[in-house]
Structure 1
Amino acid sequence: MADQPLPPRGAIAAAATALAYAGGAVLLATALLTTVSVVLRWLTRQPVPGDFELVSLGSGLAVVGFLAYGTLLRTNILVDTFTTWVPRRLARGVDAFWTLIWAGAAAVLAERLLVGATETLRTGTTTMVLGLPTWWAVGLAALGFGATALAALHWVVRLLRGHG
């Protein structure tokens, strides 16, 4: 990948980077919580109460935190077996098309998650064991998918202009 262009800079890159760091921190916290819970279960036969709820929320948020950054760096899965032999301009067009599809999917998911966050806030939905409200996690997931859609749109424009 020596011909891979430098990643974009600016607000989208800053947001994607911040979300990736936050996702990494949440993933580390989730791993630490899992370790503590297993050790407690081994020593006392009692895990951290609600550990599975916290791991579930944390794991989901970590993954969503990485999506925009992966999209920004174009490190997501790219299948190029068809486009390796076509002219570079056509390959960029195909990449732009599929990146636009990804941007649309991410935007729809962001909008649906935003609606879900509003609904879970309105209804007071909580986790079963700890009783934690869930609207904030759904809202953060919406933010992650929104940033992913913006990162993908950035690449669509870049590819259509002949860069990438």
Structure 2
Amino acid sequence: MHRLMNELARVMALVGGVVLTMLILLTCISVFGRGMNTFLHSGLGEALLGGMTKTLLDTGVGPILGDFELVEAGIAFAIFAFLPFCQITNGHATVDIFTSKLGVGANRFIQMVVEIVFAAVLILIAWRLYDGMLSKMRYNETTFLLQFPIWWAYAASLVAAFLASVAGVYMAVVRTVEFFTGRVIIVPAGGADH
């Protein structure tokens, strides 16, 4: 079961990474286009390029239309896509100033409680995303510039949030079994050494 969950989490993280990379490229191209448009409208651009500025401006040199709408939707998806991998690999940031002095049993109990609470929060987020998606579908809300349905972004994030919830529940079960049996199924994160 751990192998399946680990692979699923890795695939989601890779998809999130691809989306994030595309968003970075989109932002860079849009910023470059915005800068070129500003330059072409400036006196310096006119002086250096003359009539070529009008030709370049007529080709549509400028920012990408709706870039912030795409970035907003894509970042939300990417965050949820990275959560399952972070959950499975114990990659969340922890502060263990006090817990490092506690015994193994107390730390296992704390990990179990944290995983159960985290799973519940992930389920709550997925549920609210689902309700939000239904609301956006019902009212046919679209983005301002690109006019794509907002529920598309909710649906993409919901898929990733659902998988994060599954990973959260899995880790809660693992930590509960570890606490009650004393076995180590998944080695807990060691935290940062300073």
Q: TM-score, structure 1 length as denominator?
A: 0.88
Structure 1 regions of 5+ residues with no counterpart?
1-6
- 2:28 pairs with 1:35: yes
The separation in 2 between residues aligned to 1:119 and 1:93, in whole angstroms, is 39
Aligned partner of 1:130 in structure 2 is 146
**1:114 — aligned with what?**
130
Determine the C-alpha separation between the residues in 2 that align with 1:134 and 1:9: 35
- State the shift of 1:130 in Å: 0.8
| 1:9 is aligned to 2:3 | yes
Report runs of 4+ in structure 1 exceeding 4 Å deviation.
Answer: none
Amino acid at match of 1:15: L
| Residue identity matched to 2:18 | A
1:62-121 C-alpha deviation (Å, 9 max, x unpaired): 111111111111101122222212221220111110111010000001011011111211
Q: Report the secondary structure of 2:87's partner residue.
A: helix
Using the alignment, how far apart are the partners of 1:62 and 1:138 within structure 2?
12
Structure 1 residue 29 displacement after superposition: 0.5
Letter in 2 for 1:17: R
User: For this pair of structures, how many residues does the alignment match?
Assistant: 157
Give the Å deviation of 1:152. 1.9
Question: Which of 94, 104, 127 does residue 120 from structure 2 map onto?
Answer: 104
**Length-normalised TM-score, structure 2:** 0.75
Match of 2:152, as an amino acid? W
1:61 aligns with 2:77: yes
Larger Rg: 2
Percent identical among aligned pairs is 28
DSSP 3-state at the match of 1:127: coil
